[in-house]
A and B are shown apart, each in its own frame.
Chain A
């Protein structure tokens, strides 16, 4: 696909599920033509949508152009290029929210010549048409894939530029300081007082603090933004499937289809206390008991390799056996590889016999892992399990997940902030050990460059503007 391809794309723009209104969006050079073909006024007359003014709303009906059957009563929004979300001609149909009318409207649109949009394709077009910058586009991508309401809110904050503003401020402070340090290098004869190195270090320490906060925020936002990859492991027959179903059946659970992907890579997400858990390998868990029995320890180990949270399931009716111990060792292995949340679930407490020795588990997994007793069948203990899950996620994300104050940042932003912080640390230690200012400038410039990759600004010009506006230099 290259930008500006002639085809016209369509998709349901509202989340699937129950809702009063659904929006079917059509974008591309044929969008107005597609709409003309399927839209009928209440009077039954068809109209040339291309002749309607931009940014107007029209009431009428969508009719399938092949068989003439009415699809649904709709409000049609016409937005002409370039004043639309994608920068192309866009028509939106607001129809009733049930699956039947939505599907009928989509079919009509497709029959009239549009094709189903790929994942993120609207955003891509908007980006390519210059309707949004890179960080906005990334935020939109996050909104699209935001797996919970909190994630969506974070992404929206970023869209409004909160992250951008804080990073721009930080970068501005840095350039001011650089101007102060560097001006004497280009104008050695002017009697400009050299920037005081310890004062510069103090200022840099302040900037480093702000950077740390931004990094921490980004880290705290990550579970909301990307979800927490979660694996449920246990030997056969301990109740993994019923535990999964127990979690899924609670009213907060949702099942989402990753946009544009096909059924077979469907990822299931359970939202636990606002945190989306992306369940890894649930296909294996859901394909009936037979498959579950086959899911060997090897497979669990592989799944555990990608996981950020492990739920270890044991049958509380029996003492730990050799298979259980292997499950525990899988978790111990994962702990060694990195920060991972672990909850040991002692299931089937409805069967009364508390046979598992908690101390044995604690001894292997350490104090940080939590142990919870549940009955997936009676749903007893599921609240406690959710609390434990939330605590584990918070712990792995750096202490807490602060959904109100976290600033949404994409993985790229987080990486750029970390690189900037490294450069800043280098500059601070260079200043402390008496390295000449022109060399310290190399690290500071690198830091400014990294921050600029987030805000889309280049280092050189900003610096000169500051030198000339703040210092009286020259002959």
Chain B
């Protein structure tokens, strides 16, 4: 017998990056939420790298924020270093990356959850789902409790049947020595959900006072720090002071060094001592984030690999060794580390390890992240085969929103590939499934020039408001910024500069050709040598505008041609996306499909012809068959 303690609208299993966003979103949308975690002290934990953001990942953080999520504000409050990456590249790939104080960050998330009205955070090991009449109606815990719920969101991370390896030594465990969740995994598998096994790893942590930074390259944060959240002072469209957001906060440095020839030799000599190479481990690890073993074995021609030393926190004595993720035995880790310039005397305080875990095949889920087989059950985060805090949080907020919409019997919020990186991420997951842990990359986004980090609020804040997650203040900011940007673009298009000596002298000083006839400021701004600020001299009526307005104006005008191209591509994409496939279609009845396509289509259940086209194993011929069938046999409905 279980003790039936209470009923909630939503129970969230897990309080990592996905669980926190999911719980906060559902509670902020007005539902009673219970969030359960194996260990309260691990709420919002960063068991791997102490960093948030980077290309595509930083974009995700911005999008979560634009929808009313927590991650951006939490990292803004707790970073120890922040930088804009790809500043020399185009607008599509510029992104923020922050070094986190991982304890501060975790505490910051813990407080947000504990102080959130309508949300209760508790410690518990969930051991099973309660399903009745085919629908989810609660969960049970190891300590004999039962909680009723109309929706359940599982955000179990890498805890499902987790197994940790350091060399020959392997044991059942979650990250950081926490208890793995074994029963929940069996419960899911017992409900005929397809599960798979992945592996990932983390590098050793070393004592700060054992590194010799004189042999390394120092990497500083930005002098004029930016912020992730649209709600931070510096991103206020009316804020003129560039130091408004944390300019006085002291930033910590990171350090860059490289592996040596010896490192490669040490790894090669001991390669048989890692479970990944001795044949006992069969699960797939990520290609985009190879462990040291993979780097050495797969790229033997590379003389060295970069290694970054990152502080784990402002007061922490531990350094994270980015680039050295490994499951080699501890003695080999020590030797390999000491072969690296600046680390000759390094002492490991926590050895690196590999971790193997169960994930759920994400093609089991609708694009709303709701289970196809159990209504009311949602899954988000690493359990869906992704990797990374940002990817987890992005799914978390969508699962929270869609659980709330499910309770209200409203259509789910599904972002498409032209709206958000979040849309690309979830569409990839539920359409293609995963064969390695999925990391977000800008090259996965076909329309990335439209999905910039600077315009996430324009893309998503309205949607966040419609579902009731965005505050009036946030919505007001987005609207103010948009109207300032639009007015300024209009003004630059209308304002013509005369072709006179003053103007031409200025243009020549910018290294661009002089005018032969009057031209609009917008036209001048399109020249590669010219930027918005450099036109001030010949722009007499220029209003005083904040940086977040000026930058948006510049991008919109400068890259207008490419933006139009992408918008054309989006129109083409949306055409096939709008050809709906009847949800009751029986692929067994559609003649002419290959048997592989029939199986894949039946599993994924694409909503549209466009989605069907993206399923691996469905050929263009299969899509044509489907097109004929929908058009001729069933009468295609469009929306």
Contact = CB atoms under 8 A, between A and B. Distances in A.
Interface of A: 1-4, 87, 127-130, 132-134, 137, 182, 185-191, 433-439, 441-443, 445-446, 456, 458-461, 463-464, 467-469, 472-475
Contacts of A129: 591-592
Given A127-B624, A475-B49, A464 B633 contact: no
Given A438-B92, A464-B441, A475-B289, A185 B325 contact: no
A446 B569 contact: yes
B84 to A, nearest CB: 10
Interface of B: 49, 54-56, 85-86, 89-93, 203, 258, 286-290, 295, 298-299, 302, 305-306, 308, 322-323, 325, 441-444, 446, 448-449, 528, 559, 562, 565-566, 569, 590-594, 597, 613-614, 616, 619-622, 624-625, 628-629, 632-633
Contact of B443 (A4, A189, A443, A467): A467
Nearest to A1: B632
Contact of A442 (B288, B295, B562, B591): B562
Interface pairs A-B: 10 shortest CB-CB: A436-B90, A4-B591, A128-B592, A474-B289, A468-B287, A438-B90, A456-B620, A130-B594, A472-B299, A438-B92
A191 B93 CA distance: 17
Given A2-B633, A474-B288, A463 B592 contact: no
Contacts of A189: 54, 85, 306, 308
Contacts of A132: 621
A187 B440 CA distance: 12
22 contacts: A2-B628, A3-B590, A3-B591, A4-B591, A128-B624, A129-B592, A130-B625, A137-B621, A186-B442, A186-B443, A188-B54, A188-B86, A435-B528, A437-B90, A438-B90, A438-B448, A439-B90, A456-B620, A460-B443, A463-B443, A468-B287, A473-B288
A420 B622 CA distance: 24
Contacts of B613: 458
Nearest to A128: B592
A186 B632 CA distance: 44
A205 to B, nearest CB: 22
A445 B446 contact: yes
A130 B594 CA distance: 6
Query: Most chain-A CB neighbours within 10 Å: which of B565, B593, B621, B622?
Result: B621
Contact of A130 (B308, B443, B621): B621
Given A130-B622, A133-B620, A3 B566 contact: no
B515 to A, nearest CB: 19
Contact of A3 (B322, B323, B620, B629): B629
B85 A3 contact: no
A185 B441 CA distance: 9
Contacts of B593: 130
A342 B366 CA distance: 62
A420 to B, nearest CB: 14
A439 B286 contact: no
Given A186-B55, A188-B55, A472 B632 contact: no
The residue in A437, A439, A443 that gathers the most chain B C-beta atoms within 10 A of its C-beta is: A439
B306 A190 contact: yes
Contacts of A433: 528
A3 B621 CA distance: 13
A186 B54 CA distance: 8
B77 to A, nearest CB: 24
A134 to B, nearest CB: 5
**Which of A128, A182, A456 has most chain B Cβ within 10 Å?**
A128
A189 B309 CA distance: 13
Contacts of B89: 185, 188, 436-438
Contacts of B441: 186, 464
B55 A475 contact: no
A433 B308 CA distance: 35
A463 B86 CA distance: 20
B527 to A, nearest CB: 10
A443 B203 CA distance: 39
Contacts of B56: 186
A439 B287 contact: no
B86 A4 contact: no
A210 B624 CA distance: 30
Listed residue (A1, A188, A463, A469) with the most chain B CB atoms within 10 angstroms of its CB:
A188
Nearest to B294: A472
A474 B203 CA distance: 12
B443 A439 contact: no
A190 B559 CA distance: 27
Given A472-B298, A474-B286, A182 B625 contact: no
A185 B306 contact: no
Nearest to B633: A2
Contacts of B443: 182, 185-186, 441, 460, 463-464, 467
Contact of B305 (A4, A458, A472): A472
A475 B325 contact: yes
A437 B323 CA distance: 26
Nearest to B288: A474
Contacts of B632: 1-2
A160 B442 CA distance: 37
A216 to B, nearest CB: 26
A187 B306 CA distance: 12
A127 to B, nearest CB: 6
Contacts of B616: 461
A140 to B, nearest CB: 13
Which of A130, A133, A434 has the most chain B CB atoms inside 10 A of its CB? A130
Find the residue from A1, A129, A475 having the highest chain B CB count within 10 A: A475
B306 A439 contact: no
A227 B566 CA distance: 38
A190 B85 CA distance: 12
Contacts of B619: 130, 133, 456
A434 B526 CA distance: 13
Given A128-B592, A442-B449, A475 B323 contact: yes
Given A185-B55, A191-B306, 6 more contacts: A3-B629, A185-B443, A188-B86, A439-B90, A442-B565, A458-B613
A447 B325 CA distance: 37
A186 B97 CA distance: 12
Q: Interface centre among A128, A186, A445, A473, by most B CB within 10 Å? A: A186
A127 B591 CA distance: 11
A460 B290 contact: no
Point out which of A2, A127, A459 has the most chain B C-beta atoms below 10 A from its C-beta.
A2
A439 B92 contact: yes
Contacts of A185: 55, 86, 89, 93, 442-443
A213 B590 CA distance: 41
A467 B443 CA distance: 10
A467 to B, nearest CB: 7
Nearest to B219: A189
A189 B49 CA distance: 14
A133 B594 CA distance: 11
Contacts of B91: 436, 438
Contact of B90 (A435, A459, A463): A435
Nearest to A134: B620
A468 B288 contact: yes
Contacts of A461: 616
A442 B85 CA distance: 20
Contacts of B90: 435-439
B621 A127 contact: yes
A78 B523 CA distance: 71
A336 B614 CA distance: 45
B562 A439 contact: yes
Nearest to B593: A130
Contacts of B624: 127-128, 134
Contacts of A134: 620-621, 624
B306 A4 contact: no
The interface centre, meaning the residue of B90, B203, B290, B594 with most chain A CB atoms within 10 A of its CB, is: B90
Most buried by A among B287, B305, B322, B629: B287
B522 to A, nearest CB: 18
A475 B322 contact: yes
